[in-house]
Structure 1
Amino acid sequence: MKQDKKVALLAINCLQGGGAERVVLTLGQGFYELGYEVHILRFKPRVEYDLNPNLIYHVLKFKPYKMIPGTQRRDKFFAHAVDRYVKKNIGQPDIILSNLDRSDSIFSYSSLPNIIYVIHNTLSLLYKFAKTDVGHQRKENFTRIYSKNPCACVSNGVEKDFVENFGHVTSTTAIHNPIDRDGIQKLADAFIPEYQNYIIHVGSFKEAKRHDVLLRAYAKTDQSLPLLLLGKGKLQSNTEALVAELNLEDKVVFLGFHENPFPYIKHAKFKVLTSDWEGFALVIAESLVLGTPVISTDCQSGPSELLPQKNLMPMRDIDAIAAKLSLAMKDPEQFHSEFSEALLPVTIAKKYIEFASNVNNTDKRS
């Protein structure tokens, strides 16, 4: 017989690799600690994370529906299947959190109540709304999707970007991503890296992360600390070529992808981020948990909400970034910043519950 508990359902396309996927598992734990029965629903079976045994997992495969012509028609058919599956296997969730655009599109056709979209990115920058015809079409489609349910944005910057691009099509709020402090600290002690006295950058080799800016700035320093790059991605070969062009082969180390990056972050002298855009900048908060100093570009959302002004650098300004790198190499501790307990999973889950309650009360009054 089903326990008389409140039910939270978190939906995402898969649990493969990215920050949003890790956030779903962490937030699920926050709801669990508040006494919720927590279900994770995904549409692909792929998993790259250890699955928290406190959560209940479901896979409803989207792949068979790919035969249906037309994206919106396909998503609509699948949404009906999701609704039936949830009602049969989970019941009526008290809160449903949809994560990332694949899930968001499906839930825009759902008849289930209590849905909230979690907006993980500055969408206008990620999808180049203003720069391409495809971006413009995406903006129109997102406007349709996000007008259907309330939206919780993972930073104030993401919320600002959302409202500027879509207007007030729905209720919005900013709720930071949850950080599993205890879990991260435990993982950070899994091993001691073979390297000592180094700078760390953690992030996929993709356009947003601007490894090119980082390397050109690093080349202007005395390179007294080696630079370790942890991650994988389609721009890795370009980055390797730039390392060779700048004669940095003896100073830059490509670590590849590591499921557990935290020992490398913990033992670094400092962490650097040179992104053009972020949603929340998860890796900054994770570094603060481990007491690792961080310097970062002051991109549109994320870093300025986690770091003091002195830790920030102007985007794409190679000379300014080189100067900050040089200061950090001489004295990393001047860029130490405290982790905020406001980011713990239970606190963040409570904010989602409060937002859902406020939205529901507003809907009842209107």
Structure 2
Amino acid sequence: MRLARISLLLPDLRGGGAERLGLVLAEEFVRLGHEVEFVLMRAEGELLAEARRGYPIVDLNAPRARNVVPVLARYLRTRRPDALIAAMWPLTALAPIAALIAGFRGKVLVSEHSILSQQYASWGKLHSFALQFSTCVGYRLASVRVGVSHGACADMAALSRMALDCFETIYNPVRLAKQPSPEVLQAVDALWETGRPRILSVGALKPVKNHALLLRAFAMLPRSEAKLMLLGKGQNEAALRALAAELGIADRVIFAGFHPDPAPFYATADLFVLSSDYEGFGNVIVEALSFGLPVVSTDCPSGPAEILAEGRFGRLVPVGDAPALARAMDAVLDSPVDRDALRQRAADFAPEIAARKYLDLLSFA
């Protein structure tokens, strides 16, 4: 194995899935003997303090995407890492261009964590053209192209008009569960207050996660003592609180905010639910499985069905169907759970597996 200096390029370190992936990969790369530093458009976000404790942070101080190429090219000429891993469009299109301008001789790996064609579907024709044109150029200049699910790879191929076999699927690595301390469990247990069952959803409160669907399904659930906790924060919180009040369930819905370590919340829940309209992968499903927590998810493109093996390890329901979601939640809560099987499925997404695949594609394995 050839040891390398690897730079991880991200917009920032807010508490999202791609950002968590960067931290997990960095930890595994370092464990295997490589050097890692984070290169950020803006050095900000909830996970920045965690990253600073373990890795050098380079702030490009690029407030907008159009500012990235010259400063990134300067960074590559100065630091000359062995590889650059760029995550999230438009960085995945801009990084290969900056590498070309810099005369960078290392490998550039680009990875997408969402279904871009859906994420930007409502942004208009001009933006759609920019998305397609930039991926056509950027992906072709990249050394390696990765999607976090088969569906993400198919979307990347369609956008860039490249063959599907030009893209590699590497499922997101997810840290396996560590049992929280009794003190932490007790504190989180108190947040749930009284009542059972406890239903948990983890994710930013933004439209694509469709928490409104979950609230409507929860209101249909014939379990008056049930509690629903939404772990995360975002632009939709006020609207979701208003909807909970309108549905008459405000006293049973807990808006817990963002927590960097969701482990104690999984450990104290009875059911995990994902209600998204689409996902690039769905890390939170794997996190839930790692605690042996039963899962109900919308069958959205493109990660949940792949993680749950088309329903073998959890219940899948149609996107946007609140009654179906309510029925599935009720049925799963009444069903026996093979928690060991769920934990074993989560182990298929262990960080070492993903990290070694990345390193193999970069020729560092």
Q: CA deviation at 1:97?
A: 0.9
In 2: Cα distance, 1:289 partner to 1:156 partner:
22
Q: Given that residues 128 and 135 in structure 1 are in contact (C-alpha distance below 8 angstroms), is that contact kept between their aligned partners in structure 2?
A: yes
TM superposition score normalised by structure 1: 0.85
Report the equivalent of 1:154.
Answer: 148
Q: Does 1:107 align with 2:107?
A: no
Q: CA deviation at 1:122?
A: 0.9
Alignment of 1:36-47 (within 5 A): 36-47=34-45
Amino acid at match of 2:75: V
Report the equivalent of 1:98.
Answer: 86
> Residue 243 of structure 1 aligns to a residue in which SS?
helix
Q: How far does the alpha carbon of each residue in 1:191-220 deviate from its partner, in whole angstroms, 9 at most, with x for none?
A: 332126310111111111111111112222
Q: 1:130 to 1:75 in 2, by over 3 A?
A: closer
Report the equivalent of 2:321.
Answer: 317
Alignment of 1:1-366 (within 5 A): 5-49=3-47, 50-51=49-50, 55-63=54-62, 72=66, 74-87=67-80, 92-93=81-82, 95-108=83-96, 109-110=98-99, 111-112=103-104, 113-128=106-121, 132-149=125-142, 150-168=144-162, 171-181=166-176, 184-186=178-180, 190-192=184-186, 193=188, 194=190, 195=192, 197=196, 198-224=198-224, 225-308=226-309, 309=311, 311-331=315-335, 333=337, 337-338=342-343, 339-357=345-363
Amino acid at match of 1:171: C
Amino acid at match of 2:21: V
> Residue 176 of structure 1 aligns to a residue in which SS?
coil
Q: Given that residues 75 and 106 in structure 1 are in contact (C-alpha distance below 8 angstroms), is that contact kept between their aligned partners in structure 2?
A: yes
> Residue 184 of structure 2 aligns to a residue in which SS?
coil
Q: CA deviation at 1:115?
A: 0.6
> Residue 135 of structure 1 aligns to a residue in which SS?
helix
Gaps of 5+ in 1: 359-366
In 1: Cα distance, 2:127 partner to 2:227 partner:
40
> Residue 362 of structure 2 aligns to a residue in which SS?
helix
Amino acid at match of 1:354: D
> Residue 36 of structure 2 aligns to a residue in which SS?
strand
Q: 1:321 to 1:244 in 2, by over 3 A?
A: same
In 2: Cα distance, 1:264 partner to 1:140 partner:
42
Amino acid at match of 1:179: V
Q: 1:332 to 1:141 in 2, by over 3 A?
A: farther
Q: 1:52 to 1:78 in 2, by over 3 A?
A: closer
Q: Given that residues 269 and 332 in structure 1 are in contact (C-alpha distance below 8 angstroms), is that contact kept between their aligned partners in structure 2?
A: no
Q: Given that residues 130 and 136 in structure 1 are in contact (C-alpha distance below 8 angstroms), is that contact kept between their aligned partners in structure 2?
A: no
Q: CA deviation at 1:152?
A: 0.8
> Residue 78 of structure 1 aligns to a residue in which SS?
helix
Q: CA deviation at 1:118?
A: 1.3
Q: Given that residues 33 and 346 in structure 1 are in contact (C-alpha distance below 8 angstroms), is that contact kept between their aligned partners in structure 2?
A: no
In 1: Cα distance, 2:182 partner to 2:247 partner:
32
Amino acid at match of 2:264: P
Q: 1:152 to 1:350 in 2, by over 3 A?
A: same
Q: CA deviation at 1:47?
A: 4.5
Q: CA deviation at 1:144?
A: 2.4
In 2: Cα distance, 1:328 partner to 1:203 partner:
21
TM superposition score normalised by structure 2: 0.85
In 1: Cα distance, 2:179 partner to 2:30 partner:
20
Q: Given that residues 13 and 102 in structure 1 are in contact (C-alpha distance below 8 angstroms), is that contact kept between their aligned partners in structure 2?
A: no
Q: How far does the alpha carbon of each residue in 1:142-197 deviate from its partner, in whole angstroms, 9 at most, with x for none?
A: 33222221211111111112112222179310001111215x54589733321263
Gaps of 5+ in 2: none
In 1: Cα distance, 2:250 partner to 2:180 partner:
33
Q: CA deviation at 1:103?
A: 3.3
RMSD: 2.7
